[in-house]
């Protein structure tokens, strides 16, 4: 089939997920994945038929109820009860884009053949994905330790015709949509509910979504920083590779090289300067932006490992003839990485706002607040307030969630990661960063007009020409809310070379 991604054991990368989402690619199981799923399920059925011993989550209760043995005739009821009882989510709905990634990652994890699910269960999840039948999932309810139990319960309830889905433009009961599509509810077999609910796909999906935005905004931070430097009549010497080769952090070197590329053949940066050096928010762009790049790269490695892993429990190992109960569902690696990522993104916003502040301060020949007739016009006075308030919120959101833990399940789950809170906070931080950068772009593009008739680099001038088609120059006061929103939309719509995601 054209435009189809076949689920295999090959490594699933952030870049591949980006392509699958962007191209609206359909999913299908490879023969390898189908075989893995069938073999594991067949092994589990044979094992259960030949052995009546209690095996956690398969013929026992869950959590602190692990010692309660469940009779064979009640195993389907056990799994359905698990799904229903754990659907305790509340708060905001998870964005549709992230729900779709959750489906993809849950399908990927189940396809490896260590979870014991039925083939038709995974195929139905693929049906949901391909037909845009998106379960309603809530942001609050996961401790990020025994998997993302509550969010994944809501994700998988529609399999048994429970819960709600978003389909055909509105929210509706899952049972109604299944009937419309001609899909019979899945009859869950032993262990299936636990396989569906255990896992880190809520945290991982937020991580993937934030990473895709973060890599794009990291690039924009450099570009908008370069435009601000031009507007501020800054110097390019701090980007000389000699400085960075003697402190060779990867992100720092990449940032300095990128800044020089953006500024290549600029008349503004080449003109004689009256000042010897620039404030840190300009001079230390490679060091600050670069450190955030390295942090993003670390988070990317952790999340890439996670999305190519099996994170439910217990796990079934056919070749070793053993079913092992462990803790791969614990979200600690993600919790730490997402907290780190959030801090790194908050810092990109923090230094961006400082550049905005410098630009409106009436320095280096720029008018106060970047507008003619300051006093009569307030110009860009208040957008800086807005950026400052968002930066302050990001500082609060960047407080790590992973340092917290609350005992649950009657003491059985006595250390939890709180990675789900890390994930939802991280999304808010990256969305805030986008707004902060949009405000800096407004200011930087305004400031550079006061350097005319000198021209910046060809690349920057081309970029600004596209931007000016959406957000005109401010000549006198107007409602700047619309400029901020149009600037955000411009950044979202601007197509970037996919190499920035590598």
CB 354 within 8 A of CB 378: no
Residue 56 among the catalytic residues: yes
User: Of the listed 43, 56, 166, 209, which one is catalytic?
Assistant: 56
Kindly list the structural domains of the chain, giving each domain's residue range(s) and its CATH number in brackets, ordered by start.
Answer: 4-199 (1.10.275.10), 206-312+324-501 (1.20.200.10)
pLDDT value of position 53: 72
Assign 3-class secondary structure to 67-119.
CCECCHHHHHHHHHHHHHHCCCCEEEECCHHHHHHHHHHHHHHHCCCCCCCCH
pLDDT value of position 44: 92
- Other beta carbons within 10 angstroms of residue 248's beta carbon come to 8
R_g (Cα) of the chain, nearest Å: 26
pLDDT, tens digit, for every residue of 105-156? Answer: 999 999 999 999 999 999 999 999 999 999 999 999 999 998 899 999 999 9
pLDDT, tens digit, for every residue of 435-461? Answer: 999 999 999 999 999 999 999 999 999
pLDDT, tens digit, for every residue of 381-426? Answer: 999 999 999 999 999 999 999 999 898 888 778 899 999 999 999 9
Q: Quickly tell me which residue has 């990867």 as its tokens.
A: 250
* Mean pLDDT on 301-310: 98
């Amino acid at each position: 089939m054209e435009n189809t991604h076949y689920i295999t054991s090959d490594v699933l990368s952030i870049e591949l997920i980006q392509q699958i989402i962007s191209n609206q690619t359909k999913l299908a199981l490879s023969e390898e994945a189908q075989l893995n799923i069938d073999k594991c399920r067949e092994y589990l059925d044979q094992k259960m038929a030949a052995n009546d011993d209690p095996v956690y989550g398969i013929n026992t209760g869950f959590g602190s109820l692990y010692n309660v043995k469940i009779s064979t005739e009640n195993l389907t009821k056990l799994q359905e009860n698990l799904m229903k009882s754990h659907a305790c989510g509340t708060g905001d709905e998870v964005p549709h884009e992230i729900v779709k990634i959750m489906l993809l990652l849950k399908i990927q994890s189940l396809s490896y053949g260590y979870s014991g699910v039925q083939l038709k269960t995974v195929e139905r999840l693929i049906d949901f994905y391909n037909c845009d039948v998106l379960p309603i999932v809530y942001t609050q309810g996961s401790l990020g330790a025994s998997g993302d139990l509550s969010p994944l319960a809501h994700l998988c309830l529609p399999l048994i015709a429970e819960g709600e889905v978003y389909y055909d433009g509105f929210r509706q009961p899952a049972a109604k949509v299944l009937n419309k599509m001609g899909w019979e509810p899945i009859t869950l077999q032993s262990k299936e509910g636990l396989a569906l609910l255990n896992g880190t796909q809520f945290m991982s999906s937020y991580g993937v979504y934030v990473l895709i935005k973060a890599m794009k905004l990291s690039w924009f931070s450099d570009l908008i920083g370069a435009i601000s430097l031009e507007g501020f009549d800054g110097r390019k010497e701090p980007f000389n590779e000699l400085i960075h080769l003697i402190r060779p952090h990867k992100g720092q070197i990449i940032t300095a090289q990128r800044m020089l590329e953006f500024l290549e053949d600029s008349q503004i940066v080449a003109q004689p300067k009256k000042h010897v050096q620039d404030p840190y928010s300009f001079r230390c762009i490679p060091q600050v932006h670069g450190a955030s790049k390295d942090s993003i790269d670390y988070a990317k490695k952790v999340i890439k490992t996670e999305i190519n892993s099996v994170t439910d429990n217990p796990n079934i190992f056919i070749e070793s003839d053993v079913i092992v109960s462990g803790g791969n569902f614990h979200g600690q690696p993600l919790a730490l990485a997402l907290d780190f990522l959030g801090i790194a993104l908050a810092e990109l916003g923090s230094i961006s706002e400082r550049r905005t502040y410098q630009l409106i301060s009436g320095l280096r020949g720029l008018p106060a607040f970047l507008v003619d007739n300051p006093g009569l016009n307030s110009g860009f006075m208040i957008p800086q307030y807005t950026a400052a308030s968002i930066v302050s919120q990001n500082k609060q959101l960047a407080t790590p969630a992973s340092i917290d833990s609350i005992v649950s399940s009657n003491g059985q789950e006595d250390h939890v990661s709180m990675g789900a809170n890390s994930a939802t906070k991280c999304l808010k931080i990256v969305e805030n960063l986008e707004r902060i950068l949009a405000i800096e772009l407004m200011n930087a593009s305004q400031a550079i007009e006061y350097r005319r008739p000198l021209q910046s680099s060809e690349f920057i001038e081309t970029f600004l020409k596209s931007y000016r088609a959406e957000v005109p120059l401010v000549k006198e006061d107007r409602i700047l809310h619309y400029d901020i929103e149009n600037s955000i939309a411009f950044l979202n719509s601007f197509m970037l070379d996919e190499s920035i995601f590598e």
